[in-house]
Amino acid sequence: MSLLSKLKSVAKQVLRPEQKAKPVTEFVYDTLPWIDKKDADIASFINHFPAVKELPYDLAEKLAFWRDNGYVILGKAIDTDWLDQLWSEVEELVEHHEKYQTQVRIDLPEYQANPILPVKDVPKTVLNGPYIKFNDFHDNSVIGKKIMLHKNIVTFLEAVFGEKVIAMQSLLFKYGSQQATHQDFAYVVSEIPSHLAAAWIALEDVQIDAGPLSYYPGSHKIAKFNFGNGIFFNNESTLNPGDFATYLDAACQKAGMEKKTLLIKKGEVLIWHAALAHGGEAIRNSALTRKSYVCHYSSDSAYKHHRQRPTEEPVRRTINGADVFVNPTMPDQEDIFTKGKMM
Ligand SMILES: O=C(O)CCC(=O)C(=O)O
């Protein structure tokens, strides 16, 4: 597979004029989430954070772990009935794909020229196989939105950002991604690059030979990679995602960081920091699936418009105090999978 085909299915960073003039080489300290600043006072934050009593985990402990390691794992975070409902909708999407517009990214050589297509234009055998990412299925699905904005995830992120959470995009995988090591801020667009986090939701128990996610604890603090034109990968970059991966693996190893493999169970969730270095391991047994739902989030101050309509006021859906924007490009496909309303 070529390097390009391993790229994320997200819009590339659009350069603002000031970024062209002076490349960004680090996150701006003043705009960092409070927890990433020096002397972040977790105890005092918790005293003023009202949702703390409603969570099945110790928020202060999780925040301290996040600050030091750049990730947390939430055990038994999501009801498995919700996950089964989500997956049954994905199966329906594939089975009757000719009815649906949902976009899919296909990282296979024969699709290299045109890797993102509506599912209706992709054969069922391809949709059912590896190298497939379903993009933004939450647009179509009520349960997809409910899982994305689950209280156990968005309350933690609301604490991390110190403000309202906005879900930006989602990816659904049936098989491991095998994506090279990367940090998400280089690819996922948010106005304040440090206001970014992701949740990896296990839709089944992860098996070691199924190409699990891997990550370097503490890597959110290493020096940023420079693509030749700053920390974002775009059309003007002189270095590429392969160089990014080589740099990250070497820098993490040099810093003595041990790569961890994510072997979580169905319903458990890994939440990671904008700058946590992570990737997908090789699939060692191609018969094994690795069903997962990955959601990316930003804050109210950093993500104000749907990425496909940056000049329009977005239509919002609010769940558990967090928002997701309705997809302005496919109004007839929004929430077509309705079963989640009853759950
Ligand atoms: O699930 C995976 O294997 C990779 C997901 C990922 O790296 C991402 O969405 O940023």
**Average model confidence (pLDDT) across the chain:** 93
Is residue 2 pLDDT above 60, yes or no?
Answer: no
> What pLDDT shows up at residue 8?
45
Does the beta carbon of 24 sit less than 6 angstroms from any atom of ligand 1? no
Task: Give the pLDDT mean for 94-107.
Answer: 97
Q: Which atom of ligand 1 is nearest to the CA of 182?
A: 7
> What pLDDT shows up at residue 4?
40
- Rounded to the nearest 10 degrees, how much is the dihedral formed by the CA atoms of 151, 153, 155, 158? -140
pLDDT band at 21 (very low <50, low <70, confident <90, very high): low
Per-residue model confidence as pLDDT tens digits over 284-312: 999 999 999 999 999 999 999 999 999 99
Alpha-helix residue ranges (DSSP H) falling in the chain: 17-21, 42-47, 59-69, 80-95, 124-127, 142-148, 151-161, 241-254
Distances (CA, A) of 7 to 4, 55, 240: 5, 35, 10
Tokens of 301: 């101050």
Q: Which atom of ligand 1 is nearest to the CA of 281?
A: 3
Does the beta carbon of 294 sit less than 6 angstroms from any atom of ligand 1? yes
Task: Give the pLDDT mean for 155-177.
Answer: 97
Q: State how far the Cα of 7 lies from the Cα of 4, in Å rounded to an integer.
A: 5
Helices (H) and strands (E) in the chain, counts: 8, 13
Domain 4-342 -> CATH class = mainly beta
27 Cα–ligand 1 center, Å: 22
Q: Which atom of ligand 1 is nearest to the CA of 187?
A: 10
Pocket of ligand 1, candidates 105, 148, 177: which has the most ligand atoms within 8 Å of its Cβ, to mutate? Answer: 177
Per-residue model confidence as pLDDT tens digits over 216-267: 999 999 999 999 999 999 999 999 999 999 999 999 999 999 999 999 999 9
Going by C-alpha positions, the residue among 188, 180, 189 that lies closest to residue 241 is 180
> What pLDDT shows up at residue 9?
41
